[in-house]
Amino acid sequence: MSGRLVQVGSAVVDYVYRIDALPAPGNEKTASNYARVAGGGFNMMVAANRTGMKVVFGGRLGTGPDGDFLRAAFASQGIETLMPPSPSMDSGNCVALISGDAERTFVSWPGAESVLTPDMMTPVKVSPGDWVFTSGYTLSYPGSRDTLADWIAALPPEIPFVFDPTPVIAEIPRPILDRVLARTTWLSCNTDEAAKIAGAGDAQTVAVRLLSQHCPKAEGVIIRAGAHGCLVRLADGGTRAIPGFAVTAVDTNGAGDTHIGAFVSALSRRLSPWEAARYANAAAALSVTRHGGSSAPTDNEIQEFLAHRDQATTAHGRKQEATT
């Protein structure tokens, strides 16, 4: 394994309620289950950590019940926090409503993670071999976006930087977004986020525009399509659609985070982008079969899943040959 993953995004506490369907406006639902879990950028870090990459957190936590909860969660995963906590604000939180079709709806409240100054970022250092990741959430906050964009722009050129714009992309001022995209080594986004950056079109057309017009220094872009897998486009022109895996989903919360964390971890171990994308597809598929946002599988679980799928594909091919 080469270097660490330095996560400079945010982590919040998720208050997760399971309901059969969203209530109509003005009505009420009783949840069938409730959980308080670490969320936000924590999910991505767990995915990278469980697949063998050393992870450190370069974002800000707060002082209070939610900050204490997150610190305990980080400690349980062996993830070091680089920045001292805010003495005056608690960490933010998010209400997550998980409906019967496994989809999720969020309402968030920003906390200490939404305020950054250059002095706060002083303890966050990178070394040769490290990877850096951030998400759109920290770039959407007026109190943190400028500091974080400046810090990212100043990264040494040899440090790979991975960016996930997230569903709040519309709340990121375009000059900030353009600065971050200009420094991005790998962009991972879903189809809606890709279109908001580069305009409408099929995935391959949008990926070409992302690289040529928005991410001039990128090695590649990944456009995630949920259960359908993802499309990978490289700067040298190579393009592949990497199929997803059919599973029975019970909770899609954190699937995108799991995909990104597993992808970065695989790339850091010198897997090709195609292999890393298939590995990430498998990690995301396993995660949606489990409840909870931090449901990323381990490397052994992913390898076993892929081996089983490969064996099933081989057996199916032999059966077809025998009947022709």
User: Which amino acid is it at 309?
Assistant: R
Residue 44 has pLDDT above 60, yes or no: yes
Q: From the centroid of its chain, how far is CA 26? A: 33
For the cut 80, the answer to whether the pLDDT of residue 316 exceeds it is no
246: which 2 tokens? 């059919």
Backbone angles phi, psi at 64, to 5 degrees: 150, -175
Strand partners, 104: 98
Cα 206 from chain centre: 20
pLDDT > 90? residue 179: yes
Who contacts 305 (Cβ-Cβ below 8 Å, separation ≥6)?
245, 282, 285, 286, 297
Helices (H), ranges, 101-166 = 136-140, 145-153
| Confidence band, pLDDT 50/70/90 cuts, at residue 65 | very high
Q: Which tokens hold the place of 175?
A: 């000059």
pLDDT category of residue 321 using cuts at 50, 70 and 90: low
Q: Is 164 within 8 Å of 172 (Cβ atoms)? A: no
Q: What's the pLDDT score for residue 313?
A: 67
Specify the residue for token string 């790979």. 160
101-137 tens-digit pLDDT: 877 788 999 999 999 999 999 999 999 999 999 999 9
Q: What's the mean pLDDT when you consider all of the chain?
A: 93
Kindly indicate the confidence band of residue 217, based on its pLDDT and cuts at 50, 70 and 90. very high
What percent of the chain lies above the pLDDT cut of 90? 85
pLDDT digits (tens, 9 = 90+) for 2-33: 589 999 999 999 999 999 999 999 999 999 99
Contacts of 115 (CB under 8 A, 6+ apart): 60, 86, 89, 141, 143, 144
DSSP-based three-state secondary structure for 231 = strand
Is residue 34 exposed (0-12), middle (13-18) or buried (19+ Cβ within 10 Å)? Answer: exposed
Q: Residue 68: what are its φ and ψ, rounded to 5°?
A: -60, -40
pLDDT at residue 46 above 70? yes
Give alpha helix (H) positions in the chain: 41-50, 65-77, 136-140, 145-153, 174-183, 191-198, 203-209, 255-268, 273-287, 299-322
Q: Which residue has the tokens 């919360």?
A: 253
Can you give 34-67 as a three-state secondary structure string? EEEEEEEHHHHHHHHHHCCCEEEECCCCCCCHHH
> What's the CA gap between 149 and 113, in Å, rounded?
15
CB 189 within 8 A of CB 155: no
